Chain A
Amino acid sequence: MCSLLRGEEMCLAQLFLQSGSAYDCISELGELGLVEFRDLNPSVTTFQRKHVNEIKKCEEMERILGYLLREVKKADISLPERDVNPVAPLPKHIMSIMEQLQRLEVELGEVTRNKDKLQRNLLELTEYTHMLRITRTFVQRSVEREPLQAQYEEFPFLEKDTMLEYSSMQRLGAKLGFISGLIQRTKIQAFERMLWRVCKGYTILSYAEVEEYLEDPDTGEPSKRVVFLISYWGDQIGQKVKKICDCYHCHLYPYPSSNEERNDVVEGLRTRIQDLHTVLHRTEDYLKQVLMKASESVYTWVIQVKKMKAIYYILNLCSLDVTNKCLIAEVWCPVDDIPTLQRALEEGSRKSGSTVPSFVNRIPTNDAPPTLIRTNKFTSGFQNIVDAYGVGNYREVNPAPFTIITFPFLFAVMFGDLGHGAIMALFALWMVLYENNRKLKNTRNEIWNTFFEGRYIILMMGLFSIYTGLIYNDCFSKSLNIFGSGWSVKAMFTEGVWKIADIRGNRFLTLDPNVTGVFTGPYPLGIDPIWNLASNRLTFLNSYKMKMSVILGIIHMSFGVILSTYNHLHFKKKYNLYLVFLPELLFLLCLFGYLAFMIIYKWLVFTAKDSRLAPSILIHFINMFLMQGDGMQPLYPGQTGLQVFLVVIAVLSVPVLLLGKPVYLYWLHNGSNRIGMYRGYERVRRNSEEELYLMRAHDMEEGSGHSDLSTSGERPTEEFDFGDEFLHQAIHTIEYCLGCVSNTASYLRLWALSLAHAQLSEVLWAMVMRVGLRMDTTLGVLFLVPVFCLFAVLTVSILLVMEGLSAFLHALRLHWVEFQNKFYSGTGVKLCPFSFSLLPSSFEHDGLL
């Protein structure tokens, strides 16, 4: 009961699983997600565990599945969106799944390799065609013109020489050879220069660029290539040229010696390219078919393999008992769920067909159990923001149920605008109504997920903001006059205080509430709308909001202190009530509670008539501490005496807080000569001296804890260390007393942020919306349309998103620090149940699923 207030009662249980049915039982437990398994073989490395082979098999299957998923994603096939949840396959089915996966992998590998080869082939043929086409123009050019006017691109000054060379070479009988091919455009300049340096005029290079982008077969990127034709004399030169071409990664193709040969080759190439295109099409179709078939079942396989791997991992955590016939597992389990656990084990045994059932046995322990707090979709958001600060200790009071109301309220005090609150609430309402929409639930966008998870929080924040917007009377920086203002300007004229000339002569006039008829009574709900027109609006609102912030802060903090009584009573330490809680509360209330009382007293007692005599609360408060101020008019009769009394009580409560508990515990342990039973909690991690000291001090606090854990004689008696205890309590006292002052001042951020929000809102209206509204030209009315659009966009981005996040953060800080440090320790561990649905999938992480 009371799970949300305090957390479930947990117990340590031992599961005795028959070897035959262990797999099925753990599968059942994984589907339920009830319990957390403890590692019974902590000293064993991963490679020495019992089921390491099966886990390796699972990982192999995951590798193949990853490859399959990548191929499916590359082919742009969408996976079927089904909500499948197959159970973990039995060990005997694993082989068949493995076989299927391996077959698929081999097939896919072959098909992809073939496709790549074909594409490479196609590329080469295309290049060859381009080359033939372009070199034809070279030859034609040189054939058409007179030899004297032969245009060799790069060595114009060698024209004459080459002609001489040509004829002399022919006389020498040197053969004219051709090398043709393609080279990347970026390399052609260097290629030219290298050729010139090496072959010095015995070669002629002509080149031209290919217009289209050709795909590079190795990288698959389109690049520009250049077709070149080298004519050379002599074999030696030929060898050098070939080596240089190799160096520059040129693709060389045979150069046809005559035009007929060239035409034949071109025809042949064309038919071959057509054939290749058809074959490639067929291959791609086949590949797609194979992938589609695979994609139907790949999702199921992924889940099955994930579950199998998890079960083997858990089996590794268990230990075998002496008879080697059954496995023992230790789990943390909520006490209320033990019958469900038993049923699950029976179900697992039944499924595996085992005759001997597995059973569960509760065992006592001194370890601190993990904390489990059951939440529903509404409370989980608030529980998450509390857990972000720290998970509560086992069975400690949980601040989350109170946060459900106080957090949106404090946010709303800082956000306070009816219009903005309404928009925020509508946005949250949309998210809540469409929360089962699959597309909204399963997006990968982190920021959207954060907003979506907190949709109920945002809804509450919006609704509360509507309320505080009504109280502050602020809607997009304008006040709403629902009930009729309580102030009347006309009365100033009818009573003869003002004349028409006064209006012409003065920039500002002050309404006097003491004149009859000017102030007819307070506005029924919220701030009077006339303040929106007043120039001293901020002076009034600042005073109001500051006092309100201090009062809210003191109430919030007192509530936190009172909550600590729940902890003291639950952990059966009544002495804490008198020695810790009472001094704390007295200190807080005598000083700051009295401040709140004075504020409210002044609001109630002093009216407009006494406004000149109204005392300053601040001066009275300071004088209270200095024990002065006899010369000032008291707020009420007997004020000095009462104040002295309160200060004395507050000052006296400090030593009680400081010394009470250590002295009492000392007397308890030594004075009555009792051997205290050590029923402390043992921390699993003992890292440092400080932690040891804190642990022991904490143990002292948890001393006489649960009566069902009787470990009489098993543990050695714990020495009560007065020094440690006193130090701990001294730190707590200083922290608390100084904290009271600083935390009360910290609540003034409620005022600061609401002021900032109101001012931003006003500035946005004045600078954007007013410009549009004041247009009085005939076409100017159309200007209002884009002006409103701009106003809307700026409202959402600045006032809703930025201010909303800011107020959220500050409200959160007020909860985490100022509220929770009065009673919450938050050093517990959360229960991580073994549940298939909570296991992360590595494929989702890679974005493949």
Chain B
Amino acid sequence: MPSLLFCGPKMAACGIVISIWGVIMLGMLGIFFSTKSAILIEDVPFTEEDIRNDKNPPGNIYGLYTQVGINCFIAAGIYVAVGAVSLCQVRLNKRQEYMVT
């Protein structure tokens, strides 16, 4: 079976660090978007029509907020997967180190 190892020890460690950071930060961003924090208004993709043609203000904007929040959670989930892959790589690297010496 061909080796599943495709990155060295340092790259795998970087992968783990970025994944942990990504999970925590994107998770928190998701929570803040879901609670519709005002500070993040610039990051929500709204347009003039959303505000003007809103039947039930500020429903449109709230909808966009939750959408971006869900996006953030999905990205956090993907980073969990990336973190798991990096962890496997780290374990494989350690095993290879023991076998060589």
Listed in ascending order, the chain A residues whose CB lies under 8 Å from chain B are 78, 423, 476, 478-479, 481, 529, 532-533, 766, 769-770, 773-776, 781-782, 784-785, 788-789, 792-793
Residue-wise, chain B 14-35 has the 8 Å CB interface mask toward A (1 for contact) of 0000100110011001000000
- CA distance in complex: A766, B26 (Å): 16
Cross-interface CB contact of B68 among A78, A478, A773, cutoff 8 Å: A773
Cross-interface CB contact of A773 among B43, B78, B101, cutoff 8 Å: B43
Q: Is the CB of B18 within 8 A of A792?
A: yes
Q: A769-B43, A773-B68, A776-B68 are in contact. List 6 more A-B contacts (CB 8 A).
A: A481-B37, A774-B68, A775-B71, A784-B71, A788-B26, A792-B21
Among B39, B67, B82, the most chain A Cβ lie within 10 Å of the Cβ of B39
Q: Is the CB of B39 within 8 A of A770?
A: no
- CA distance in complex: A476, B40 (Å): 12
CB A590 to nearest CB in B, in angstroms, measures 44
Among A476, A773, A774, the most chain B Cβ lie within 10 Å of the Cβ of A773
Q: Is the CB of A788 within 8 A of B68?
A: no
**Chain A residues within 8 Å of B45, by CB:** 773-776
**Chain A residues within 8 Å of B78, by CB:** 782, 785
Q: Is the CB of A776 within 8 A of B40?
A: no
**Chain B residues within 8 Å of A785, by CB:** 22, 75, 78-79, 82
Q: Is B42 an interface residue (CB 8 A)?
A: yes
29 contacts between A and B (CB under 8 A): A78-B101, A476-B25, A479-B39, A481-B37, A533-B38, A769-B43, A770-B42, A770-B43, A773-B68, A773-B72, A774-B43, A774-B44, A775-B45, A776-B64, A776-B68, A781-B74, A781-B75, A782-B75, A782-B78, A784-B26, A784-B75, A785-B79, A788-B26, A788-B75, A788-B79, A789-B18, A789-B22, A792-B18, A792-B21
Chain B, 60-98, CB within 8 A of any chain A CB: 64, 67-68, 71-72, 74-75, 78-79, 82
**Chain A residues within 8 Å of B5, by CB:** none
Q: Is the CB of A533 within 8 A of B41?
A: yes
**Chain A residues within 8 Å of B21, by CB:** 423, 792
Q: Is the CB of B67 within 8 A of A776?
A: yes
**Chain A residues within 8 Å of B79, by CB:** 785, 788
- In the complex formed, the residue of B with least CB distance to A423 is B21
- CA distance in complex: A769, B75 (Å): 13
**Chain B residues within 8 Å of A533, by CB:** 38-39, 41
Cross-interface CB contact of A481 among B39, B68, B72, cutoff 8 Å: B39
A-B CB contacts (within 8 Å), total count: 61
- In the complex formed, the residue of B with least CB distance to A793 is B18
**Chain B residues within 8 Å of A78, by CB:** 101
Q: Is the CB of A788 within 8 A of B25?
A: yes
**Chain B residues within 8 Å of A529, by CB:** 39
Q: A774-B45, A788-B22, A792-B22 are in contact. Are A478 and B40 (CB under 8 A)?
A: yes
Interface residues of B toward A: which range?
Answer: 20 to 34
CB A781 to nearest CB in B, in angstroms, measures 4
CB A173 to nearest CB in B, in angstroms, measures 70
- CA distance in complex: A762, B44 (Å): 16
Across the A-B interface, the 9 shortest Cβ-Cβ residue pairs? A774-B45, A784-B75, A773-B43, A781-B71, A776-B45, A785-B78, A770-B43, A532-B39, A785-B75
- CA distance in complex: A785, B21 (Å): 12
- In the complex formed, the residue of B with least CB distance to A529 is B39
- CA distance in complex: A793, B14 (Å): 10
- CA distance in complex: A781, B78 (Å): 11
- CA distance in complex: A769, B68 (Å): 12
CB B57 to nearest CB in A, in angstroms, measures 11
**Chain A residues within 8 Å of B38, by CB:** 481, 533
CB B8 to nearest CB in A, in angstroms, measures 15
- In the complex formed, the residue of A with least CB distance to B29 is A773
**Chain B residues within 8 Å of A775, by CB:** 45, 71
Cross-interface CB contact of A784 among B37, B40, B72, cutoff 8 Å: B72
CB B15 to nearest CB in A, in angstroms, measures 10
**Chain B residues within 8 Å of A770, by CB:** 42-43
- In the complex formed, the residue of A with least CB distance to B43 is A773
CB B67 to nearest CB in A, in angstroms, measures 7
CB B81 to nearest CB in A, in angstroms, measures 10
- In the complex formed, the residue of A with least CB distance to B101 is A78
CB B46 to nearest CB in A, in angstroms, measures 9
**Chain A residues within 8 Å of B39, by CB:** 478-479, 481, 529, 532-533
**Chain B residues within 8 Å of A792, by CB:** 18, 21-22
- CA distance in complex: A793, B22 (Å): 11
- CA distance in complex: A479, B37 (Å): 10
- In the complex formed, the residue of B with least CB distance to A473 is B39
CB A531 to nearest CB in B, in angstroms, measures 10
- CA distance in complex: A788, B75 (Å): 9
Among A478, A529, A788, A792, the most chain B Cβ lie within 10 Å of the Cβ of A788
- CA distance in complex: A311, B43 (Å): 70
**Chain B residues within 8 Å of A423, by CB:** 21
**Chain B residues within 8 Å of A776, by CB:** 45, 64, 67-68
Q: A481-B37, A529-B39, A785-B78 are in contact. Are A773 and B71 (CB under 8 A)?
A: yes
CB A484 to nearest CB in B, in angstroms, measures 12
- CA distance in complex: A532, B41 (Å): 11
**Chain A residues within 8 Å of B74, by CB:** 781, 784
- CA distance in complex: A765, B78 (Å): 21
- In the complex formed, the residue of A with least CB distance to B15 is A789
CB A788 to nearest CB in B, in angstroms, measures 5
**Chain A residues within 8 Å of B67, by CB:** 776
**Chain A residues within 8 Å of B29, by CB:** 773
- In the complex formed, the residue of B with least CB distance to A480 is B39
**Chain B residues within 8 Å of A769, by CB:** 43
CB B36 to nearest CB in A, in angstroms, measures 12
CB A767 to nearest CB in B, in angstroms, measures 12
CB B70 to nearest CB in A, in angstroms, measures 8
- CA distance in complex: A234, B82 (Å): 79
CB A371 to nearest CB in B, in angstroms, measures 42
**Chain B residues within 8 Å of A781, by CB:** 71, 74-75
- CA distance in complex: A241, B79 (Å): 74
- CA distance in complex: A775, B44 (Å): 9
- CA distance in complex: A776, B46 (Å): 10
CB A758 to nearest CB in B, in angstroms, measures 14
CB A287 to nearest CB in B, in angstroms, measures 21
- In the complex formed, the residue of B with least CB distance to A789 is B18
- CA distance in complex: A225, B7 (Å): 39
- CA distance in complex: A478, B79 (Å): 22
- CA distance in complex: A396, B42 (Å): 56
CB A525 to nearest CB in B, in angstroms, measures 17
- CA distance in complex: A781, B41 (Å): 18
- CA distance in complex: A505, B25 (Å): 38
- CA distance in complex: A423, B22 (Å): 12
CB A700 to nearest CB in B, in angstroms, measures 59
**Chain A residues within 8 Å of B43, by CB:** 769-770, 773-774
- In the complex formed, the residue of A with least CB distance to B17 is A792
**Chain A residues within 8 Å of B22, by CB:** 785, 788-789, 792
- CA distance in complex: A529, B32 (Å): 14
**Chain A residues within 8 Å of B75, by CB:** 781-782, 784-785, 788
- CA distance in complex: A532, B40 (Å): 10
CB A310 to nearest CB in B, in angstroms, measures 34
**Chain A residues within 8 Å of B18, by CB:** 789, 792-793
